[in-house]
Amino acid sequence: MKPALRKLALTSHVTTSVGWLGAVVAYLVLAITGLTSAEDDVARSMYLAMHVIGWFVIVPLALASVFTGVLQSLASEWGLFRHYWIIAKLVLAVIGVAVLVTHLRNVTRASGLARDNAIFSADHGGLRAQLVVHAAGGLVILLIATVLSIYKPWGKTRYGRRRSA
C-alpha cells in the first residue's frame, strides 16, 4: 500500500476508534444521569438520547473501527496475526461490538419505557443500573485496547516470528 493511502487508513482507524471511545464516555454520562436524576423529565430524556447515540453513533463507529483496524493491520508491516497485541485488540473489539449490539436491545426497551413514562417503576430499577454497568464495561474494554495500542505487549506470534525470519 502506498504511504499516502496507508496514512489515510491509519487516520481513519484512529478517528473512528477515538470517536467510539468518546461516544461511549458520553453514553456513560447519560446512563449515570438517567439512573441518578431526581427529575423524571431529565432521566427520561437520557434514555431516549442513549437509544439514538447507541444505534446511530456508537454502533457505526464501532463497526468502522473494527473494519479500519483490520484493513490497517493487513496493509501495514504489523500484520493481522503477527503480534499478540493486535489479536487481543481484534478479539476485544469483536466481543465489544457483539455485547454492544446485544446490550442495545435493553436500551431500546428502556427508551420505549421512558416514552411511556414507565421507566421509573420499581420493576425497572435493575435495567437502569444495568445500562450504567454495561456502559462502564464498554469503556474499560476500549481503554484496554488503547493501552494495547500504545504499549504493544507480548511480542510476536509464532506466525509473526516465522514471517520475520
Over residues 141-145, the mean pLDDT reads 97
**Nearest-5° Cα angle at 131, 129 to 136:** 100
Supply 38's cell numbers. 431526581
**Whether 97 contacts 62, CB under 8 Å:** yes
More reliable by pLDDT, 120 or 128: 128
Nearest to 14 by CA among 69, 55, 91: 69
3-state helix, strand, coil in the chain (%, to 5): 85, 0, 15
pLDDT surpassing 90 at residue 1: no
Where residue 77 falls among pLDDT bands split at 50, 70, 90?
confident
Average pLDDT over residues 107-121: 88
Domains defined for the chain, CATH in brackets: 3-164 (1.20.120)
Contacts 24+ apart (CB under 8 A), 35-42: 35/128, 35/129, 35/131, 35/132, 40/117, 40/120
